[in-house]
Structure 1
Amino acid sequence: MDHSIHPGLVNNLAMQFMNVNLSEEDRRKHLTAVLEQAMQTYPKDMEKEKTMLMLAMLLAKKVADHTPSLLRDIFHTIVNLISQNLLTYVRNLVRNEMD
């Protein structure tokens, strides 16, 4: 999964995050758009939430590798995205591990 994320997506996302004039909401929208684009290349039989979570974490890693100074910003935005869109899925994952 890591190798199939197009470098252009990572570069585009890094460029967006370097724009200091973007609000957190704008950053989240850009991240969501990149995630949706990246998800087009993954099998439809995989859970959408699982794919989105994995890709979000991989994108954070790739952006931080590409531009280390963006680690805090990309991490913060991904945590917000997970909190807003994937919190129930993550809680269910934790519950299943606890059982």
Structure 2
Amino acid sequence: MDRSIHPGLVNNLAMQFMNVNLSEEDRRRYLATALERIMQTYPTDMEEEKTMLMLVMLLAKKVADHTPSLLRDVFRTTVNFINQNLFTYVRNLVRNEMD
């Protein structure tokens, strides 16, 4: 799964995050666009939400590894993205673990 994230995509996303004029919404959009590109090349044998969650976290890790100074921004944007797009899935994961 880690190898499905092309270095050029990571570099491009890091460049976008370095733009201090971008709003949080713009950053989330760039993250979503990058995630969509990765999802198109990934097999669909897993639940879509699970795949999205794993890939968005891997993407955030790769951007932070590529440009450590972006860790805070990429983390915040990733958490916001997860809260907006995958909150129900994550909540259900937690509930299932507690049962």
TM-score (norm 1): 0.97
Corresponding residue of 1:67: 67
- Number of residues of Structure 1 aligned to a counterpart in Structure 2: 99
Corresponding residue of 1:41: 41
After superposition, the C-alpha distances for 1:17-59 in whole angstroms (9 at most, x for unaligned) are 0000000000000000000000111112211111110011001
Q: Percent identity?
A: 83
Query: Any stretches of 5+ residues in structure 1 without a counterpart?
Result: none
RMSD: 0.7
Runs of 4+ in structure 1 deviating by more than 6 angstroms, as ranges, are none
Corresponding residue of 2:90: 90
Comparing 38-47 with 76-85, greater Cα deviation is found at 38-47
Query: Any stretches of 5+ residues in structure 2 without a counterpart?
Result: none
SS in 2 for 1:44: coil
Q: Distance in 1 between matches of 2:61 and 2:12?
A: 14
Q: Distance in 2 between matches of 1:8 and 1:52?
A: 19
